[in-house]
Amino acid sequence: MGSHSSNRTRVPLSRMAMGNGHGEDSPYFDGWKAYQIDPFDPAENPHGVIQMGLAENQLCADLIEEWLIDHPEGSICTAGGSDKFRDIANFQDYHGLPKFRNGIAIFMGKVRGNRVKFDPDRIVMSGGATGAHDLIAFCLADPGDAFLVPTPYYPGFDRDLCWRTGVKILPVNCKSSNNFKITKKALEEAYNGAVDAGIRVKGLIITNPSNPLGTTLDRATMKDLVDFVNEMNIHLVCDEIYAATLFRGPDFISIAEVIEEYDDDCCNRDLIHIIYSLSKDMGLPGFRIGIVYSYNDDVVRCGRKMSSFGLISSQTQHLIASMLSDDEFVERFIAESSARLAKRHGYFTHELERVGIRCLDSNAGLFVWMDLRELLAEQTFEAEMVLWRVVIHKVKLNVSPGSSFHCSEPGWYRVCIANMDDQTMEIALARIRSFVLENMMGNCMRVVRSKESKAVECKLKVSFSNRKMEEVMKMPCSMSPCSPMPPRSPLVRART
């Protein structure tokens, strides 16, 4: 059976294939794996892990289903739609179906309150936003070049921007002390650091609304970014994949609007590019609808050719073109989606507050940026991972640790809230309450026991009231066990 072949040297795969540039060794994915082994199901597996690590929008799937049933012309599979089958199935032009590009351009404008118009001829298709990141990096940078990316950032960037392209990411560190705003100082530090290290910076990549923060950039910051990239003559890539997930003020300001305020000699539009997708705004990640929108003609031309490697299925283009041409549906969808997100977000954060857990104040996104710093035994990333493992394995919630987003401070976690129904949300909240309560009880016992000893060792700020304790005790508990906690009460807030 080919015994001689065991003596042969195995032909290795490429360095790219054998390395870990795919980024899947990150804890971001470990939580997913824990979920896959033991996924929650209300009937089949009620004690399984609830997936809160996946930023999906499943709150409005019913609206799309209704539209599909009412509009069989959107599908080429129905008896009525099959006449279009031939042309659609044959259509592999990398320019994309014109009505698809038109539909996307109009949708992008609507999502920005029609404050700005998009040109369908600048739309380049890609295999989801994942494919769009890979494509734009190939177009703008060479191996060894770098992009600046403010932290915390989406973990997938490490794979999407760097794996195949050989490009590096240099973090622009943002701090909780100013709510993780991007400052000119941080940008300059990162840029100068690159120059000192002999690394060529090709661009700055931002996600707005931010993943994982859920916040939008204000106009002043946006202008700082535009000024910065023009001064340094580097590209600005704005990933606006969460544009329609805005659920309250302040408004979302797209880069497309900001550059309108500049004269041509103050802003070189060839530097400006937008990444978009329908995965989040419309909850259609499975359909792989990614877009690169560039103000740079060369990037559009080259990007089109490169899009051959990840075109959108023409079947899907046809469906989306149909759907997005229905103005009434689109406007209703955007409004309803925003309302449902607002409700979900408001409820979830309110319930967390009641047990003393705070989140960064946010106005968009499909998640909250949860502050669990005070639960850490010490302010280290190791302690963050210890807590995270407890949350995954004992509390049975898959959340994402801040370190996987390259956050510069430990203790933050992204928790996704739009990918489940209300019932599952309640169960998740119950588990959180139960976890908080059990640890509070544990801490109280430790406080009592150590009353004669130095209570300060517990570092408890005795600022929670008995009333608060009673409130928590009245809340419904889940049956999830949790392990003893370090001696810090979750109800203790760092009162500033």
Partner 1 sequence: MLSRKLSSNSHGQDSSYFLGWEEYTKNPFHAIDNPNGIIQMGLAENQLSVDQIKGWLKRRNLTGCEPGVSDFKELASFQDYHGLPAFKSALAAFMGKIRDGRVTFDEEKIVLTAGATSANEILMFCLADPGDAFLLPTPYYPGFDRDLKWRTGVEIIPIHTSSSNNFRITTSSLEQAFRHAQTLGMTVKGVLITNPSNPLGTTITRSEFNQLIRFVDSKNIHLISDEIYAGTVFNNSPDGFISVAEALHCGNHSLSQRIHLVYSLSKDMGMPGFRVGLIYSNNPSLVSAATKMSSFGLVSAQTQYLLANMLSDESFVHSYIEENRKRIRERKQLMVSRLHEVGIPCLESNAGLFCWVDMRGLLDESGPSFGGEKRLWTRLIHEVGLNVCAGSSCHCSEPGWFRICFANMDEWAMEVAMDRIKSFADSIRGQEQAAGTVLGQRFILLLLLSFIFVDDLGRTLSSQVKS
Looking at the Cβ atoms of 274 and 357, the one nearer to partner 1 is 274
Rounded Cα distance between 328 and 325, Å, is 9
Q: Which of 63, 170, 199, 302 binds partner 1 (CB under 8 A)?
A: 302
Q: Is 103 in the site for partner 1 (CB under 8 A)?
A: no
Tell how strand 235-239 and strand 367-371 pair up.
unpaired
Which H or E element spans position 191?
A: helix 184-196
Six-digit token pair at 88? 């659609």
Q: What is the number of alpha carbons within 13 Å of residue 351 lying toward its C-beta?
A: 20
Q: Which stretch binds partner 1 (CB under 8 A): 100-108, 307-315, 402-410, 460-468?
A: 307-315
CB-wise, 214 or 303, nearer to partner 1? 303
Is 63 a binding residue for partner 1 by CB under 8 A? The answer is no
Tokens of residue 261, six digits: 């305020």
Of 221 and 316, which CB lies nearer to partner 1 in the complex structure? 316
280 included as an active-site residue: yes
Span from 98-106, 315-323, 361-369, 461-469 in contact with partner 1 (CB under 8 A): 315-323
Please give the backbone phi and psi of residue 356, each rounded to the nearest 5 degrees, phi first.
85, 15
3-state secondary structure of 463: coil
- Whether 33 is a known active-site residue: answer no
Of the candidates 13, 37, 220, 456, which one interacts with partner 1 according to CB under 8 A? 13
Extract the runs of DSSP E, i.e. beta strands, from 36-178: 50-51, 123-127, 146-150, 168-172
Residue tagged active-site, from 76, 136, 241, 291:
241
Of 286 and 346, which has the nearer Cβ to partner 1?
Answer: 286
15 binds partner 1 (CB under 8 A): yes
Indicate which single residue of 28, 40, 120, 134 sits in contact with partner 1 (rule: CB under 8 A). Answer: 134
C-beta of 191 vs 435, nearer to partner 1:
191
> Which residues ranging from 255 to 294 are in contact with partner 1 (CB under 8 A)?
270, 279, 283-288
Query: Of these residues, 106, 182, 202, 280, which one is catalytic?
Result: 280
Q: What are phi and psi of 437, to 5 degrees?
A: -60, -50
Residue 212, preceding peptide bond in cis (omega within 30° of 0):
yes
Which residue lies nearer to partner 1 by CB, 138 or 153?
Answer: 138
366 binds partner 1 (CB under 8 A): no
Residues in Cβ contact with 236 at an 8 Å cutoff, skipping those fewer than 6 apart: 203, 204, 206, 225, 226, 229, 255, 271, 272, 273
Active site residue 154: yes
What is residue 126's three-state secondary structure? strand
Tokens at 337, concatenated = 């989606």
Total of chain residues touching partner 1, rule CB under 8 A: 80
Shortest reach from residue 258's CB to partner 1, in Å: 21
- The answer to whether residue 384 forms part of the interface with partner 1 (CB under 8 A) is no
Annotated active-site residue in 28, 35, 153, 154: 154
Q: Is 76 in the site for partner 1 (CB under 8 A)?
A: yes
Residue from 38, 47, 48, 91 in contact with partner 1 (CB under 8 A): 91
Residue closer to partner 1 by CB (options 150, 283) is: 283
With binding defined as CB under 8 A, does residue 465 bind partner 1? no
Q: Which of 45, 78, 179, 465 binds partner 1 (CB under 8 A)?
A: 78
From the list 371, 357, 370, 387, the residue with the least C-alpha distance to 472 is 357
Rg of the Cα atoms in the chain = 24
129 versus 182: smaller Cβ distance to partner 1? 129
Chosen residue from 45, 46, 82, 115 binding partner 1 by CB under 8 A: 82
Question: Per the residue annotation, which of 239, 295, 413, 432 is the catalytic one?
Answer: 239
Q: Give 439's contacts (C-beta < 8 A, 6+ positions apart).
A: 375, 482, 484, 485, 489, 490
Q: Given the complex with partner 1, which of 286 and 476 has the nearer CB atom?
A: 286
Considering the complex, what minimum distance in angstroms separates the CB of residue 455 from partner 1?
50
- For position 43 contacting partner 1 by CB under 8 A, the verdict is no
Clarify whether 239 is annotated catalytic: yes
What's the token pair of residue 438?
């059990």
- Those residues whose C-beta lies under 8 Å from the C-beta of residue 357, and which sit 6 or more positions away, are 370, 371, 372, 432, 436, 490
Contact call for residue 323 and partner 1 (CB under 8 A): no
- Note whether 463 binds partner 1 by CB under 8 A: no
Read off the tokens for 190. 């990162």
Assess 25 for contact with partner 1 (CB under 8 A): no
Q: Is 96 in the site for partner 1 (CB under 8 A)?
A: no
**Between residues 45 and 233, which has the closer beta carbon with respect to partner 1?**
233
Residue 205 binds partner 1, judged by CB under 8 A: no
**Helices and strands of the chain, counted as H and E runs:** 16, 13
Q: Of these, 45, 192, 308, 380, which contacts partner 1 (CB under 8 A)?
A: 308
Cβ proximity of 478 and 427 under 8 Å = yes
Q: Is the dihedral of CA 451, 456, 459, 460 positive or negative?
A: positive
Q: Which of 157, 165, 196 is nearest to 404 (CA)?
A: 157
Q: Is 456 exposed, middle or buried (0-12, 13-18, 19+ CB in 10 A)?
A: exposed
Contact between 127 and partner 1 by CB under 8 A: the answer reads: yes
We find the least distance from the C-beta atom of residue 355 to partner 1, in angstroms, to be 30
Nearest distance from C-beta of residue 53 to partner 1, angstroms: 14
Catalytic residues: 154, 239, 241, 280
